[in-house]
């Protein structure tokens, strides 16, 4: 595997005002790149280097697992958010599960937004 950080699928300031350019930059350039660099170093002369990231996560432990899992988590996170999207799900298993076990989507969304605002105030948003 070539341990290179994929480019962000959007500009670093595209998530403002919800997530600042500074926060995106820190998480992408410092955290995500840091995990990638540590994984690259840990697997410099290792046969697992030929595996996919998912295979490395599944077949490793310790520092290699931690760094590979964090790279995967960050990759997933960047692909899971979309600047300017305010769309609600209209169908699918996730929406059905939310509404079957929690609350209607509109209430779930407002509860999540309220929880996020509270946690940002309490924890500082980083």
**In this predicted model, what pLDDT tens digit does every residue of 74-125 receive, in sequence order?**
999 998 888 877 666 676 787 777 777 777 777 777 777 777 666 665 555 4
> For residue 17, what is the domain's CATH number?
1.10.287.990
Q: How far apart are CA 124 and CA 126, in angstroms?
A: 6
Distance (Å, whole) CA 42 – CA 49: 10
pLDDT for 88 equals: 67
Q: Return the half-sphere exposure (C-beta side, CA atoms, 13 A cut-off) of residue 20.
A: 7
Do 74 and 111 reside in the same domain of the chain? no
Q: Can you state the angle between helices 33-42 and 62-80, rounded to 10 degrees?
A: 140
**CB burial string 63-98: b at 16+ within 10 A, e below:** ebebbbbbbeebeeebeeeeeeeeeeeeeeeeeeeb
* One domain for residues 15 and 70: yes
The whole model's pTM is what? 0.71
The structure tokens 């609600």 sit at 88
pLDDT of residue 120: 61
Residues 10-39 have pLDDT tens digits of 999 998 888 899 999 999 999 999 999 999
Within this chain, do residues 23 and 79 fall inside the same structural domain, yes or no? yes
Domain count, the chain: 2
Domain with 58 in it:
1-86
Residues 7 and 54 in one domain: yes
More confident residue, 19 or 69: 69
What are the Cα distances from residue 37, in Å, to 4, 5, 46? 8, 9, 15
Please indicate, yes or no, whether residues 23 and 82 belong to a single structural domain of this protein: yes
Across 15-24, 43-52, 65-74, 117-126, least confident range:
117-126
């Amino acid at each position: 595997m070539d341990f290179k950080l994929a480019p962000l699928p959007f500009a670093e300031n595209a998530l403002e005002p919800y997530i600042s350019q500074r926060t995106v930059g820190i998480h992408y350039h410092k955290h995500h790149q840091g995990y990638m660099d540590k994984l690259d170093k840990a697997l410099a002369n290792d046969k697992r280097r030929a595996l996919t990231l998912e295979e490395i996560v599944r077949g490793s432990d310790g520092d290699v697992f931690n760094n590979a899992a964090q790279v995967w988590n960050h990759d997933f996170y960047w692909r899971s958010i979309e600047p300017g999207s305010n769309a609600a799900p209209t169908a699918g298993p996730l929406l059905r599960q939310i509404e079957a076990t929690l609350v209607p989507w509109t209430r779930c969304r407002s509860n999540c937004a309220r929880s996020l605002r509270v946690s940002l105030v309490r924890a500082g948003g980083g």
